[in-house]
Amino acid sequence: MTMIELIEKKKHGQSLTDEEINFIIKGYTEGLIPDYQVSAWLMAIYFQNMDEEEVFSLTKAMLYSGETVDLTKIKGVKCDKHSTGGVGDKTSLVVAPLASALGVKMAKMSGRGLGHTGGTLDKLEAIPNFKIEKDIEDFYEQVNKIGLAIIGQSKNIAPADKLLYALRDVTGTVDAIALIASSIMSKKLASGADNIVLDVKVGSGAFMKDVDEARKLASLMVKIGNYYHKKTVATLTDMSQPLGCAVGNALEVKEAIETLKGHGPDDFTKLCIELTVEILQVCEITSSYEEAYKLVKSAIDQGLGLEKLRAMIKYQNGNPLVIDDYSLLNIAQNTIDVIYEGQEKLYIKSVDALLIGEAAMKLGAGRVTKDDAIDLGVGIVLNKKVGDIVAPGESLAKIYTNGQNTNLAKEMVYSAYTLTKDVVTKMPIIIETIK
């Protein structure tokens, strides 16, 4: 077979075989097939799509293009939780400790943030001396001892996906559902967990803007997981406004800790509880939703999740005193309030998550390229969210800054708010669950 034959075949909407897809991925990874031919193939996929068998084959080819993690050395049931990314999304810092406290082994490999969405590793590095790089044997030992570890993903996991994603990024083919699903699931399957819980974000601050498209993506990822004998569930969650109130690495760590203490924002707390419930159910720790919900609530009320987070921080060389002393997080000390300048009380109709995320980036909280340095202490805390009433002179949000683009960020945050005289019904954080 030749690459030009396979491009032609996909261009005309025909399905590629497992052997043909493996030929492409192997050839590209080994440098035998040039970028321009793979770019043409990706564009053909963008317009002609892939059927499920093709997606399963592409996932497998990328999965086995590099190392896979063998978690059999870890005793007990293992689960991985993945989010498609959003503004203020610090759920792993709460969900993983809660699930671990309730008997699930959470052996998690995470990534860094790029663009307006933050990465779990960046947030963890806001904790003084926290070590995200670990030898695999140390990783196994930690999860066996305390049931929880969050480390950096191995560079050798699904290398074909890294190459393909970089090419998709510069050829306008990122938003093809078949390519997104196989990209995410190749890495999740390579990470070795028994079960997978997916948090698929939908809205202005998420990659998926449309509920129908997000549903298609979630359904396809669940099918991939189940096809490869991993019990998989996906929850569609709202990202039309930032999740919780804090946006920015150290600020989000603080909010996650507060949530484990039982004092988190309502929407964020609800999401963390629901995702942990899904983990308990998919891992068959509980037999019913009601039982799982009671266990998770109890784990928060008794501080069990908080103590798991403390243990993980200590085990990974971080300073566990951050749990009780937030000054150790080095949150920016310069603050400025974004004041509502209207003349009457109004309701918050919407808060543009994308604009808030971009404002945080301007402050230095995010990176444009993977090599950019970020300021872990800056960010934004929302004082008003959708459905709240704001009076003249009240603060919509507070900006934490070290002097970079402060006025621009303030203008962007103000512009993110849309107000109305009408009462606004808050959108539920959980849109749908797909099993």
Q: Give the model confidence (pLDDT) of 217-243 as tens digits.
A: 999 999 999 999 999 999 999 999 999
Considering only CA atoms, which of 289, 190, 177, 178 is closest in space to residue 233? 289
Assess whether pLDDT exceeds 80 at residue 63.
yes
The answer to whether 229 is a known catalytic residue is no
The answer to whether 161 is a known catalytic residue is yes
Summarize pLDDT for 171-188 with one digit per residue, the tens.
999 889 999 999 999 999
**CA dist 328 → 129, 253, 304, 380 (Å):** 11, 11, 22, 18
Please report the pLDDT score of residue 116 as a whole number: 62
Assess whether pLDDT exceeds 90 at residue 300.
yes
Say which of 162, 168, 254, 384 is annotated catalytic: 168
Q: What is the pLDDT averaged over residues 60-68?
A: 95
Say which of 80, 89, 161, 375 is annotated catalytic: 161
Assess whether pLDDT exceeds 70 at residue 114.
no
Structural domains of the chain ordered from first start: 3-48 (1.20.970.10), 71-156+189-323 (3.40.1030.10), 328-420 (3.90.1170.30)
**CA dist 340 → 301, 398, 414 (Å):** 36, 12, 8
Q: What percent of the chain has pLDDT over 90?
A: 90
The answer to whether 82 is a known catalytic residue is yes
- Tell me the average pLDDT of the chain: 95
The answer to whether 215 is a known catalytic residue is no
Say which of 183, 191, 204, 350 is annotated catalytic: 183
**Six token digits for residue 350:** 């919407």
Assess whether pLDDT exceeds 80 at residue 369.
no
Q: What is the pLDDT averaged over residues 34-53?
A: 97
Contact 89, 243 (CB under 8 A): yes
Q: What is the pLDDT averaged over residues 146-165?
A: 91
**Six token digits for residue 305:** 């999740």
Spacing of C-alpha 392 from chain mean position: 36
CB-based contacts of 262, cutoff 8 Å, min separation 6: 300, 301
Residue 206 pLDDT class (50, 70, 90 cuts): confident
Contact 231, 80 (CB under 8 A): no
pTM exceeds 0.75: yes
Spacing of C-alpha 9 from chain mean position: 35
Q: What is the pLDDT averaged over residues 300-327?
A: 97
Say which of 81, 105, 134, 187 is annotated catalytic: 187
Summarize pLDDT for 394-416 with one digit per residue, the tens.
999 999 999 999 999 999 999 99
Say which of 9, 60, 78, 82 is annotated catalytic: 82
Please report the pLDDT score of residue 422 as a whole number: 97
Q: Which helix (H) or strand (E) holds 216?
A: helix 211-227
Please report the pLDDT score of residue 113 as a whole number: 63
